[in-house]
């Protein structure tokens, strides 16, 4: 029998991957981010192509983003407790948390705005687009800081 095989450890452990205290946040967080960005893309396509169907797709993507935000926040708080062992909230961690909560509030606000516009049959105006651009910037900064905290990005 090969001694290397006898002592090797299975590099893929499904139980460890799913039950690791911090593993869920990096997976879950992509849902609100992806749905929000898809919403913006479909909104832009709806304006460019003058297609109300694309605007409806954008609206439902935005609602999906808002629905998944609480789970992303909950798993982020869990990662803070388990992976970072409840480390003092300072530096990049503090900035990440502030940006994450700001991102969540902006997504909720845009969902509220869009729902009002949708029920009245009105297309988004400059105010909506301004908040959308701000949300994209804050979400980008939040993700960058999250990458630094997780060790995916350095510096």
Domain membership of residue 67 (yes or no) is yes
Domain membership of residue 87 (yes or no) is yes
For residues 40-49, average pLDDT: 96
Domain membership of residue 33 (yes or no) is yes
Which carries the bigger pLDDT value, residue 11 or residue 113? 113
Tokens of 113: 């705005």
Number of domains into which the chain is organized: 1
Domain membership of residue 11 (yes or no) is no
Q: Which residue has the tokens 């981010």?
A: 33
- The lowest-confidence range among 16-20, 33-37, 54-58, 117-121 is 16-20
Q: Find the domain containing 109 and state its range.
A: 23-150
Domain membership of residue 6 (yes or no) is no
CA distances to 59, 113, 133 from 125, in Å:
14, 10, 13
Domain membership of residue 12 (yes or no) is no
Domain membership of residue 3 (yes or no) is no
* Chain segment 99-136, per-residue pLDDT in tens: 999 999 999 999 999 999 989 988 899 999 999 999 99
Give the pLDDT score at 115.
96
Domain membership of residue 5 (yes or no) is no
Q: What is the pTM of this model?
A: 0.81
Instruction: List Cβ neighbours of 111 (8 Å cut-off, separation of 6 or more).
Output: 62, 63, 65, 66
Average pLDDT, the chain: 86
């Amino acid at each position: 029998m090969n001694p290397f095989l006898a002592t090797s450890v299975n590099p893929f452990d499904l139980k460890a991957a799913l039950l690791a205290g911090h593993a869920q946040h990096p997976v879950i967080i992509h849902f609100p981010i992806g749905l929000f960005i898809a919403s913006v893309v479909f909104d832009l396509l709806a304006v460019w192509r003058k297609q109300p169907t694309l605007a409806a797709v954008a609206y439902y993507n935005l609602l999906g983003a808002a629905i998944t935000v609480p789970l992303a926040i909950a798993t982020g708080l869990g990662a803070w407790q388990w992976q970072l062992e409840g480390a003092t909230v300072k530096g990049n961690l503090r900035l990440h948390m502030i940006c994450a909560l700001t991102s969540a509030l902006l997504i909720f606000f845009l969902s509220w705005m869009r729902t009002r516009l949708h029920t009245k049959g009105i297309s988004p105006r400059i105010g909506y687009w301004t908040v959308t651009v701000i949300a994209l910037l804050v979400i980008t900064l939040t993700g960058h800081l999250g990458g630094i905290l997780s060790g995916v990005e350095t510096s």
